[in-house]
Amino acid sequence: MLLGTTDTILILFNFLFPMLTPFYTSFHLVLHRDIEAHRKIVSSIYKLCEKADASTLLAARALERKYHEYYLRSLEWQYHIESLVDLQLNKVCILLAD
């Protein structure tokens, strides 16, 4: 029986995911903490720019908005990785129960 591309990818994912999960979760946590650490810097820049002219204030708002987008995207990825880990652990538990 010949396996399709989707089947091959699924088999590789199920084989490699347990090995790669610690790497992805630790890498993402470091990245998320780095993003969180820049919150004070972005906030300080925004406060300084509030006293400047209109174009500087617009640039500061754009910076703050971009930071907020990165922060939210990082949280989304954190929850996505956690759900993949939970899904994989549930598969393993079901296989062990059989």
Which residue in 82, 75, 45, 81 sits closest to 60, CA to CA? 45
As a whole-number percent, the residues of the chain with pLDDT over 90 amount to 4
CA dist 18 and 87 (Å) reads 11
28-50 pLDDT, tens digit each: 778 888 888 888 888 888 888 88
So where are the chain's domains? 24-97
**What token pair was written down for 35?**
């993003």
Mean pLDDT of 55-71: 89
> For the segment 18-30, what is each residue's pLDDT rounded down to a tens digit?
666 666 667 777 8
The structure tokens listed for 8 are 């091959």
The predicted model scores a pTM of 0.59
Query: Is the model more confident about 65 or about 10?
Result: 65
